[in-house]
Structure 1
Amino acid sequence: MKLRADQTGDRGLPMPLWLQGGLESAQAAFISALLVVVPIVAVWATSGFGSAGLDVLARLAGQAWLVIHGVPLYLTTVGEGAAARPEAGTLWLLPLGLTLIPFLLAWRAGRRLARASYTDQLWQALLGSWLVYAGFGIATGFICRTEDVGVFLWWAGLFPLVPFGLGMVIGARREAGSWSRLIGVDAVDWIARTSQHSRWAGSYLASAAKAGFVAVIAALAISSALLAADLFIHWNLVVAVYEAVDAGPVGGAALTIAQLGFLPNLAVFALAWLSGSGFALGAGSHVGPLGTAVGPLPSIPVFAAIPAGPLDFGFVALVVPVLAGVLAGWWFLREGENHFDEWLSIKLHV
C-alpha cells in the first residue's frame, strides 16, 4: 500500500518486505562499489599503480568504498633505516561529494520501498535493507583489511548506515508526503488534541529551526562563492601543480574527480575561514583570515589556491556570519507568527 492518502495498494515485487529491502540495499551497494572500481581500474590500466595485482586493486577499491561512507582506516607504516619503527595513524576524511552517491541510491530505494509498504509495515523493509547494507560493510572491511590498513569491523558495519539510512528515510518521506504519514500518525488529529499554547510553541520552534537552516545555507552559499572566486584567481597556480604532478590524462581525471568529491568539504573549510576560526592542514598549521601558516603540503592542485601570508583586509570576511544572522532574523520575523494579541485576549477577560 502506498504511503499516501489514497491507500490504493501497490505492493511492488511479490516478496516479503524485508527481502525486498535487502535486495534494494544489495543493488545500491553494488552500484556504489562499481562507481568506485571504475576510476581505479582506469588508472591501473594506464600503469598508474605500477605492477599491482588485481587483489591489491580490489582491496584498494573496498577501502575507498569504506572511506566515502565515513569509515576510519587505521594505517601502519614503517620508516626507513636501521632504527625504523612502525608508526600508526587514522585516516578519517569524509568526501561529502562522493558520499552523495550512496545517499542518492538510498533515496531512490526508500521511495520504492515506501510505495510497496503499508504505513505500519515500512519498518520491516527498512530493517531488512539496513541489515543487508551493514553486512556488506562488515564483509568489505573483513576482506579489504591488510597488515598496513586496519578496519574495525563494527565501524565498517555501522558508519555506512549513516548516509544510507538517512537517504532511505528522506526518500520514504518524499514518497509519503509528510513525516506523520510516514510513521502512521494522524498529524491533524494530534494537533487538534493539543492545547493552543502547545500549538503556538510548536509554531515558534518550527520557525526558529527554519531560520537557523536559512542562516546555515546562506553562510555556505557565500563561502562557496568565495571558494569559486579564490580558485578563479589562483587558477594559474592550480594548473602549475597539475603540470608538476604529470599524472597523465586518466590520472589527472581521477585526481580531478577526487577533488570534486571533496568540494563540499572545501566549502565548509571556506566557511570556517570566513568565521575567523580558520582551519588546520597538519599539526601546528593554521589558515585563517588574518594570516596563513602551513608547512609543506602534498601535491594536490586545489591546495595551491590557499591564500598565503598575512592578509591586510582579511578581517572583512568576519561580516559574512553577521549577514547570515541578519538574513535568519528577517526570515524569522517573516515566518514566525505573532500570537501576543491572542494570548492577551485569552488571559485578560475584559
Structure 2
Amino acid sequence: MNRRLTFLVAAFEAALAAAIGIGIVLAPLTVIWLIENDPSIDWLVAFRTSADLWLLAHGTRLVVPASTFAGAELPLYIVSLIPLGYTALIAFMAFRIGRRLTAASELWPGISAVVTVYGAVSLFVSTAAADPAIYPVNWQGTFFPPTLFAFFAILGGLFGRRSPLAEGLPEPFERRWLRSWWLTQYDRMHWALRALLVPALRTGTAIVATLFTISAAAVGLLLAVNWIQVIRLYEALQVSFLGGTAVTVGQLALLPNLIIYGVGWLLGPGFQIGAGSLISPIGTAVGPLPSIPLIAVLPIGQLELGMMVLVIPVTTAFIITVLAKKFSDEIRFEFASSLNAALAVAFSVAAVVSIEVLALAVLASGSAGPGRLEIVGLNPVSVAAAAFIITVLAAFLGAFFSAKPESPDNPIGKRG
C-alpha cells in the first residue's frame, strides 16, 4: 500500500473501532430505552452514559459535582476506576489495526491517521458527553483515548506478527530500523545485563501471568460455589431481563480488575472495597458494599489457613524459575559461581515481577463513588513489595537448578 492508501485504510479502521467501542455499550442501552421507555428520559442519557464509560475505559476521569440524592448531601467526587475488560477490548482492536498496517512499506501514515481520526472522535465524544450531573475532565477526554489507541496500534505495527496480506512484501521501514537499533544496543550492553535481560523478562512475565491465571480460576470457582448468592443479589436489584443483561455486561468489564485484586490477595496484602476495609488471607474487615452480584465472590471471613496461601506464589515463582533453564544458557556460561548466578537471577526476576504487579495494581485501582468508595482496589506499593520479597526468595532457590554454571567462564575479560 502507498502512503495515501495506508492513511485512508487506517482512518477507516480507527473510526470503525471507535464506533464499535461506543456502540458495544450504547446498543444495549438503546434497546432498553426503546423497550422500557420512560417518557421523562431522553435517548441522550443513554448516549452520554455510553460516552462516559468509553472515556473511562481510556483512563479519563469523570467528575460528579456535589448534589442531593434521596435526601442525602453528596460532595463532589471523581470516578477513576478503569473497567479493564472494556479497555482490553479497545487495546485488542488497536493492536489488530497495527498488525494490518505491516502490509504497508511505512507505518507512520497509518499511525498518523489513527491519531487524527481517533482524536477527532474523542474530542466530539468528550464534548457531547458533558452534562451538569457528570462530565469528563475535558483535556483527558481529548488526549487520553488517541494516546492509548495509538500506543497499542504502534505495538501491533512494530512487534505484532505480520499480516497475511504482507506475505512476500518488504517489511515496513520502522520495523527494520527498530530491529537494527535493538541489535546494536544489545551488543553494546554489559555482559551481565545481556545475559539476564531475556531470561528475567520471560521468567518474571510468566510468573505474573500464572498468578493471574490462578486468580482467574479462583474467581470462577467462587462464582460457581456462590451461585445462589449471585442470583439473590440479581433479584435484589429488581431489574428486568434487559436491565440484568446490562448489569452483567458492566460486571464483565470489571472482571479483570477483580482478578488483579485476587493476585494481590494471593500475595498477602489483599485489597480494599472502600476506605477502611481490607480483604486479605488473614481476614476481612468490610463496611457496606455495593449490591452487585460480583460481590458474592469476595473471600469474606476468617480463613483457617491464613497466610499459608503464600505457598501458592512462592511455589509458582520457584517452579517457573526452574523451568526457565532453557532460556538461561548465557547465564550459565557468563557467571562463574552458582551463588552469583542465583543472586543475579533472583533480583532481576523479582524486579520484573514487582514492576509488572505495580503497573497492574495502579491500572486496576481507583475511585468508584463518593465517601468510602473513593478507595477501591490495591495498594500498589504494598503489593509490589510483597511480590518482590516472595519472588526474590523463591527465584533464588530455583536459580540453583536453572542457572548453575556448567562450565565456569572468566567474565572479567568480557567487561572491557
TM over 0.5: yes
- One-letter amino acid of the counterpart of residue 100, structure 1: A
Instruction: Please state whether the residue corresponding to 1:310 is helix, strand or coil.
Output: coil
d(CA) in 1 for partners of 2:321, 2:36: 56
- Higher mean Cα deviation, 280-289 or 332-341? 332-341
Q: How does 1:37-48 map to 2 (within 5 A)?
A: 37-47=26-36
- 1:5 corresponds to: none
TM-score, reference length from structure 1: 0.84
What is the Cα deviation at residue 143 of structure 1? Answer: 1.1
d(CA) in 2 for partners of 1:308, 1:258: 23
Q: 1:85 to 1:181 in 2, by over 3 A?
A: same
* Aligned positions, number: 332
What is the Cα deviation at residue 69 of structure 1? Answer: 2.1
What is the Cα deviation at residue 305 of structure 1? Answer: 2.4
- Higher mean Cα deviation, 145-154 or 262-271? 145-154
- 1:53 corresponds to: 42
Alignment match of 1:151 (pick from 136, 140, 151) = 136
d(CA) in 1 for partners of 2:79, 2:111: 30
Q: How does 1:30-41 map to 2 (within 5 A)?
A: 30-41=19-30
- One-letter amino acid of the counterpart of residue 141, structure 2: A
State whether structure 2 residue 238 is matched by structure 1 residue 246.
Answer: yes
State whether structure 2 residue 254 is matched by structure 1 residue 262.
Answer: yes
Alignment match of 1:114 (pick from 85, 88, 102) = 102
Instruction: Please state whether the residue corresponding to 1:330 is helix, strand or coil.
Output: helix
d(CA) in 1 for partners of 2:218, 2:26: 33
- Higher mean Cα deviation, 85-94 or 66-75? 85-94
What is the Cα deviation at residue 24 of structure 1? Answer: 2.3
d(CA) in 1 for partners of 2:286, 2:17: 40
Q: How does 1:1-350 map to 2 (within 5 A)?
A: 10-11=1-2, 15=4, 17-47=6-36, 51-79=40-68, 87-116=75-104, 118=105, 121-172=106-157, 173-176=159-162, 182-185=174-177, 187=179, 191=183, 198=190, 201-337=193-329, 338-340=332-334, 341=407, 343-344=409-410, 347=413
- After superposition, the C-alpha distances for 1:266-305 in whole angstroms (9 at most, x for unaligned) are 1101111111111111111111111111111111011022
In proportion to residue count, which structure has more helix? 2
d(CA) in 1 for partners of 2:156, 2:207: 25
d(CA) in 2 for partners of 1:181, 1:214: 31
Instruction: Please state whether the residue corresponding to 1:90 is helix, strand or coil.
Output: strand
TM-score, reference length from structure 2: 0.72
d(CA) in 1 for partners of 2:274, 2:266: 20
- List runs of 5+ in structure 1 lacking aligned partners: 1-9
Q: Does the Cα contact within 8 Å between 1:43 and 1:49 map onto a contact in 2?
A: no
Instruction: Please state whether the residue corresponding to 1:263 is helix, strand or coil.
Output: helix
- 1:7 corresponds to: none
- Higher mean Cα deviation, 204-213 or 98-107? 98-107
d(CA) in 1 for partners of 2:40, 2:319: 56
- Higher mean Cα deviation, 250-259 or 189-198? 189-198
Instruction: Please state whether the residue corresponding to 1:99 is helix, strand or coil.
Output: helix
Q: Does the Cα contact within 8 Å between 1:67 and 1:73 map onto a contact in 2?
A: yes
Q: Does the Cα contact within 8 Å between 1:37 and 1:61 map onto a contact in 2?
A: yes
Task: Percent identity, please.
Answer: 28
Q: 1:232 to 1:48 in 2, by over 3 A?
A: farther
What is the Cα deviation at residue 86 of structure 1? Answer: 5.8
d(CA) in 2 for partners of 1:107, 1:197: 30
d(CA) in 2 for partners of 1:250, 1:170: 37
d(CA) in 2 for partners of 1:336, 1:205: 10
What is the Cα deviation at residue 180 of structure 1? Answer: 9.8
Q: 1:347 to 1:162 in 2, by over 3 A?
A: same
- List runs of 5+ in structure 2 lacking aligned partners: 164-170, 335-406
